[in-house]
Amino acid sequence: MIRENLIKVQNNVKEACEKAGRRNTEVTLIAVSKTKPVSMLMEAYNCGCREFGENKVQELVDKYEVMPKDIKWHMIGHLQRNKVKYIVDKVALIHSVDSLKLAEEISKEASKKQVQVSVLIEVNVAGEDTKFGVKPEETEALIRKIAVLEGIHIEGLMTIAPYVDVPEENRQYFATLKQLAVDINRKNIDNVNMNVLSMGMTGDYMVAIEEGASYVRVGTGIFGERQYPV
Ligand SMILES: *Cc1c(COP(=O)(O)O)cnc(C)c1O
């Protein structure tokens, strides 16, 4: 089932790239494996997946320990400062930096462990109360403060769009994130790249690609519905 799902998603990615006149290599698919057992991750791995996304530190670390070492792990969920130390030397990219305090903690732990950590700034483009992320109008100011910290490098922006039945409804938010990245990029801030846009999930990744996504985070579309313990 995972193989079929992956082929379908990969074909959709290709199709969206073609429609947008983008190269397929500009978009990386992250298999969001949260709540799923290692056996299913291994199935995806054996189909060629090397980028996995998790939203909980403990789960990411547990899977990191047992999965092959050529995997790139993406921390896509809200990150608590006291847990930063467990993942700074394990993740390829932290997508969810939305405060100076969190960035300072990442910087501190990165220096301790002698690693460089790549991060994205999470922006709450739709302004939903339930979502983490910095406000669009506060993003540049936050980036300027984080840019001077050691051991941490801003590579771009991330957003979690609202849950919608009609993917088109989220196009505006993806376009806004892209524009924000373009605007900030023009400022040429030292130690800041705006090359990476992490946006789009199972319900809307094709629209996100059309609007410039470089990472799409797809869980359900690859692994099926998640069951949360009640
Ligand atoms: C769970 C999650 C996803 C994947 O969601 P699906 O709708 O299952 O594709 C993507 N991004 C984040 C931040 C998530 O927490």
Q: Ligand 1 centre from 165 Cα, in Å?
A: 15
Among 67, 65, 90, which Cα is nearest to 79's?
90
Task: Note the pTM of the prediction, 2 decimals.
Answer: 0.97
Our answer on whether the CB atom of 24 is closer than 6 Å to any ligand 1 atom is no
Our answer on whether the CB atom of 36 is closer than 6 Å to any ligand 1 atom is no
For the stretch 92-150, pLDDT in tens is: 999 999 999 999 999 999 999 999 999 999 999 999 998 999 999 999 999 999 999 99
Our answer on whether the CB atom of 160 is closer than 6 Å to any ligand 1 atom is yes
Q: Ligand 1 centre from 76 Cα, in Å?
A: 8
Let me know: does 147 contact 189? Beta carbons within 8 Å: yes
What ligand 1 atom has the least distance to the C-alpha of 226?
Answer: 8
For the stretch 113-124, pLDDT in tens is: 999 999 999 999
Our answer on whether the CB atom of 167 is closer than 6 Å to any ligand 1 atom is no
For ligand 1, atom 7, the nearest C-alpha belongs to: 202
Which of 36, 55, 163 most suits a substitution to test ligand 1, by most atoms within 8 Å of the C-beta? 55
User: 3-state SS string over 60-90?
Assistant: HHHHHHHCCCCCEEEECCCCCHHHHHHHCCC
For the stretch 194-230, pLDDT in tens is: 999 999 999 999 999 999 999 999 999 999 999 876 5
Among 188, 158, 190, 163, which Cα is nearest to 176's?
158
The end-to-end CA distance of the chain, in Å, is: 26
Helix (H) or strand (E) holding 153: strand 152-158
Cα gap 106→86, rounded to integer Å = 10
